[in-house]
Amino acid sequence: MSGSSLLGATPATVALDASLEAYARRFRDRPGRAKPLSPQLRRLEAESIFIMREVAASFEKPVMLYSIGKDSSVMLHLALKAFWPSPPPFPFLHVDTTWKFSEMIVFRDLIMKKLGLNLLVHVNEEGLRRGINPYASGSGLHTQVMKTESLRQALDAHGFDAAFGGARRDEEKSRAKERIFSFRSQSHGWDPKNQRPELWTLYNTRKAPGESIRVFPISNWTELDIWSYLAEEEIPIVPLYFSAQRPTIERGGQIFMVDDDRTPLAPGEAPQMRGVRFRTLGCYPLTAAVESPAADIDAVIAEMLTATTSERSGRLIDHDESGSMEKKKREGYF
Amino acid sequence: MTSALNARHLASADKGLLRFITCGSVDDGKSTLIGRLLYDTRLIFEDQLASLQMESARRGARGGGIDFSLLLDGLEAEREQGITIDVAYRFFATGRRKFIVADTPGHEQYTRNMATGASTADLAVILIDARKGVLVQTRRHTFINHLLGVPRIVLAVNKMDLVGYSQARFEEIVADYMAMAAGLGFKSVTPIPLSALEGENVIAPSALMPWWTGESLLGFLEEVEVEDARLASAMRFPVQWVNRPHLDFRGFSGTLASGALAPGDPVVVARSGKTSKIRAVVTADGDLDRAEAGDAVTLVLEHEIDISRGDILCAPSARPTVARQFLSHVLWMHEDELQPGRPYLLKMGAQSVQAVVSAVRHRLDINTLSPAPAETLELNGMGLCEITTLQPVAFDRYRDNRETGAFILIDRFSHQTVAAGMVEASLQKATHVYSQAMDVSKPARSVLKGHKPAVLWFTGLSGAGKSTIASLVERRLSLMGAHTYSLDGDNMRQGLNKDLGFSDADRVENIRRIGEVARLFVDAGLIVTASFISPFRAERDMVRSLLEPGEFIEIFVDTPLSVAEQRDPKGLYRRARAGEIGNFTGISSPYEPPVDPEIRLLAGEGDPAAHAATVVEYLRIAGVLARAEDAPLEFSI
Ligand SMILES: Nc1nc2c(ncn2[C@@H]2O[C@H](COP(=O)(O)OP(=O)(O)OP(=O)(O)O)[C@@H](O)[C@H]2O)c(=O)[nH]1
Ligand SMILES: [Mg+2]
């Protein structure tokens, strides 16, 4: 086995190492597939691959945003397939708020290493110096500074002219309105009232210097498509998506994981072990867990089919005000 | 959400995917209908429903009910104005099939967003407000669906609750609509009465319309057949990206646009005519025995032939047309109207070339749905246009192949997508294969510009009005879409000719260099305005000799010395008279008037604008402003 794990060799990290090693080997040895992909997923996969190739052929300096979540895992997988046998002809970028679940960071570093990919990690150092954090600054300011502004910094610093993002149209009502090739001004703003028409698959990739284009290759995938694809393609994802006993606390009727000692506890409060998993992954203080026994992907899919709340209901940053996603996007958020 | 949905969700999508749009006039209830469909098929989550109820109440929805359009109108501006601005894509599934629905705006201003939705649709649900009947927008959207080749129409007569669920009213509207849509060649037009707001006949038959024996909207959408026309069409493989990880592998990545292919098949590169054979169909999941339309693959060929992005591989027996001129339906989508002769960037599949609309044959009168004469197309205008491209492109007729017969035009300066086009026919007699890359020659550039190149040489005394008239001419020309450039003392003396003074020898050298620069611009296809006193006949004739006949247009700005001296805009005459400036034309140095100038302007009197108009009129008559179609087209390749 190549590559050593970053933590001590616990059983969990050994298992992760082995699964990521096996994953990377698939793209070296190309063993072929046991059973064909279902037609619906095959169509979505082909559409996404087309979009990625179009970007690689039309832009000078593209980058793929990699946020470690399930959508990013699908995007990464699609990128590995789209250009095979070439490696993806662009680097990957993680905008790190320093408040991600530690398991996410372990996963990120290991998978990139196994696949031999070029990962750039950007942290808004100035935000750190200002002491911005999700507890004291509130979710709005934290997201603004550590995600939106940080992303803008990273894109500007490297001069990327196109950036892939893993947003899906079914996630949120303003995303349902966004083009696959979404034009951004020099200040990265989105003008929802003046989007370029986007007919057929003829994507307009033209822009002036300094302007950029955000590209959403999995726009037309639904949450169910993502999970089905992860299952059929056997794509490794961060174990937080599966239920395990985890230290948790309750805040405002929602359950949060205590990922490290930065979570402020009330006097006398002790984290409680609960069987929880996550439907989306973000900053741990802002991402609520769901209580669930679903410990593998089939169980997760089965639960999702009876879910009564949307995927993003666990995301605190979406609930500040109606239209808040659109507002963030106009400011340069993905 | 109950588990009823979940059964629906899970069940295999036997009938395949249906992509449809809702369209029709503003406020006909498109967004409400989709919101209702999502709600009734239980696709709204509890947290979404809660925020929908809050928002409905806040916006004062009717009788404390739910405003379903808010589920779709996701932008702040849309919710404020209560209209849809841009297309929303939603996904849902029932036990029978999966759906992607694009809810499009009805407002005329946002027609391009409706077209965006329609371009990928298998079916269009055209809504009509039962009180209002067929409106102009109903016609426009119907026609756009026709142009974009959407095969099937559902005519949803909505707001039946407001006409007492009247069968007579429904039938009246259907008859009106059918009369209009009859000649448009849709595969089917299916009328369905409903009330989106009340949910009548949306997902199940309505008790309030016992006279209706047909299906509910959803019932119909679940059953309707969709044919994938791509599978039956000739094989087209547009090369998107050349895959070259190392010296031992050279593949061509792309998505098969139509037809099917397999290893061993002979292929030809449409534009170059080079042939080879498919050696392997490569994917990350292993090599394939066969690929069909829609598959994203990488082809490896038997021979090392020159292929790059934009090339189309096809079967030698069924090739696309390769041409530089074709006739196309165009939907204009920008506030700035179409400018015939102005170069745009044309994107067709992976091919990107410069192109001009060389002529507008006619536009469509939306009221009568018949052709009307036109010189241009305005925002949301549709018409039949002649397109000329700088390099040959490979294409099919749109009606034969939606993948290889569609294009967009992009403005080269603003980078906006300004038009969508659907190829109707090639305008070149034979389908040639261009066996070599074409030289970009002077005639080629001229075709692209839509006018001939020329030098407008304004000569005359200092203060005669040369620059004033020249800049008015230039402004008029650029408004007409001509590509111009002006040369004058300011931009020449300060740069290229910085080293020159005003001795006779330097003056001659000055003009010679200007002549050479003008010649280069003419070679690049521009109309150059040059404003120089250029007092000596010999110099002007030398410049003329650098150019081809007809390209040098000498314009004598004939202002009497007394008038020029009186104007004396820069005070130069005064200083010359005072002896401060030597060698001053007209005072201490001669001016040799042209013997036989192309144009002589009596510029001592009259309005400079009138003189400029005279010059432009001359250019028109002399054929300099002729459109590309009049210029020689068959040039060397
Ligand atoms: N009575 C009645 N009202 C309806 C019905 N369908 C829609 N409406 C009302 O018509 C108005 C416009 O509805 P929308 O769904 O926003 O119309 P639209 O066609 O999407 O409008 P645009 O997208 O802006 O072109 C709203 O006030 C709806 O409540 C119906 O079946 N009956
Ligand atoms: Mg609407």
Look at A180-189, B238-247, B288-297 and tell me which has the smallest mean pLDDT: A180-189
Domain boundaries, chain B: 3-227, 230-314, 322-436, 449-621
Tokens of B476: 């008029």
Residues A53, A131 within the same domain: yes
In this prediction, residue B12 carries a pLDDT of: 44
In this prediction, residue A1 carries a pLDDT of: 39
Q: For residue B104, give the ligand 1 atom closest to its CA.
A: 23
Other C-beta atoms lying within 10 Å of the C-beta of residue B621 = 9
**pLDDT exceeds 60 at position A311:** yes
Q: Which of A24-33, B172-181, B436-445, B515-524 has the highest mean pLDDT?
A: B172-181
CB contact under 8 A, A32 and B286: yes
Q: Which of A311, A309, A297 is nearest to A228 (CA)?
A: A297
ipTM: 0.93
DSSP letters of A219-277? TT--HHHHHHHHHHHT----GGGS-EEEEEEEETTEEEE--STTS---TT---EEEEEE
In this prediction, residue B258 carries a pLDDT of: 97
Contacts of A57 in chain B (CB under 8 A): 240-241, 309, 350
Residues A142, A266 within the same domain: no
Q: Which residues contact A181 (CB under 8 A, 6 or more apart)?
A: A196, A198, A203, A204, A205, A213, A214, A215
Burial of B376 (0-12, 13-18, 19+ CB in 10 A): middle
DSSP A171: G
Sequence-ordered alpha helix ranges (H) in B120-191? 136-147, 167-181
Structural domain B230-314, CATH architecture: Beta Barrel (2.40)
At A56, the amino acid letter reads: A
Q: Which of A165, A183, A76, A148 is nearest to A327 (CA)?
A: A148
In this prediction, residue B549 carries a pLDDT of: 87
CB contact under 8 A, B88 and A206: no
Reported as a single tens digit per residue, the pLDDT across B389-410 is 988 999 999 999 999 999 999 9
In Å, how far is B508's CA from the nearest CA of chain A? 42
Phi/psi-derived region of residue A234, left when phi > 0, alpha when psi is between -120 and 50, beta in every other case: left
> Quick one: which ligand is closest to B67's CA?
1
Residues A47, A128 within the same domain: yes
CB contact under 8 A, B241 and A53: yes
Domain tally, chain A: 2
Q: How many residues does chain B have?
A: 637
Q: Among B6, B85, B115, select the one facing A193 at the smallest CB separation.
A: B85
Residues A150, A56 within the same domain: yes
- Domain membership of residue A175 as a residue range: 3-222+326-330
In this prediction, residue B444 carries a pLDDT of: 66
Rg (CA), chain B: 32
Same fold, B230-314 and B322-436: yes
Q: Among B87, B89, B345, select the one facing A220 at the smallest CB separation.
A: B89
Nearest CA to ligand 1 atom 13: B29
Looking at per-residue pLDDT, the higher value among B429 and B512 belongs to B512
Per-position b or e across A6-31, b if 16+ CB within 10 A of its CB: eeeeeeebeebbebbeebbebbeebe
Residues A285, A140 within the same domain: no
Q: Is the CB of B126 under 6 A from ligand 1?
A: no
Contact by Cβ (8 Å): B265, B438: no
Reported as a single tens digit per residue, the pLDDT across B62-84 is 666 788 998 899 898 898 888 99
Question: Could you tell me whether strands A162-164 and A119-122 are parallel, antiparallel, or unpaired per DSSP bridges?
Answer: unpaired
Q: Which CATH superfamily hosts domain B449-621?
A: P-loop containing nucleotide triphosphate hydrolases (3.40.50.300)
Provide the number of CB pairs (under 8 Å) joining chain A to chain B.
Answer: 171
Residues A159, A34 within the same domain: yes
**pLDDT exceeds 90 at position A101:** yes
In Å, how far is A185's CA from the nearest CA of chain B? 12
Q: Is the CB of B161 under 6 A from ligand 1?
A: yes
Mean pLDDT value of segment B57-63: 73
Q: Which of A199, A182, A193 is nearest to B121 (CA)?
A: A199
**pLDDT exceeds 60 at position B110:** yes
d(CA A39, CA B632) in angstroms, rounded, equals 51
B441 is catalytic: no
Residues A125, A243 within the same domain: no
Mean pLDDT value of segment B254-263: 98
Q: For residue B82, give the ligand 1 atom closest to its CA.
A: 16
In this prediction, residue A239 carries a pLDDT of: 96
Structural domain B322-436, CATH architecture: Beta Barrel (2.40)
Residues A206, A234 within the same domain: no
Per-position b or e across A168-197, b if 16+ CB within 10 A of its CB: bbbbbbbbbbbbbbbbbeeebebebeebbb
Q: Look at residue B498 and give its three-state secondary structure.
A: coil
In the reported structure, the alpha carbon of residue A18 is separated from the centroid of ligand 1 by a whole-number distance in angstroms of: 56
In this prediction, residue B106 carries a pLDDT of: 95
Residues A29, A13 within the same domain: yes
In the reported structure, the alpha carbon of residue B68 is separated from the centroid of ligand 1 by a whole-number distance in angstroms of: 9
Residues A302, A156 within the same domain: no
The catalytic residue among B276, B435, B534, B588 is B534
CB contact under 8 A, B74 and A196: no
Look at A196-205, B441-450, B465-474, B597-606 and tell me which has the smallest mean pLDDT: B441-450
Rg (CA), chain A: 20
Structural domain B3-227, CATH architecture: 3-Layer(aba) Sandwich (3.40)
Looking at per-residue pLDDT, the higher value among B268 and B626 belongs to B268
Q: Which residues contact B254 (CB under 8 A, 6 or more apart)?
A: A53, B237, B238, B239, B240, B241, B296, B297, B298, B299, B350
**pLDDT exceeds 60 at position A6:** no
Q: Report pTM.
A: 0.80
Q: Is the CB of B377 under 6 A from ligand 1?
A: no
Residues A167, A195 within the same domain: yes
In this prediction, residue B28 carries a pLDDT of: 96
Residues A169, A37 within the same domain: yes
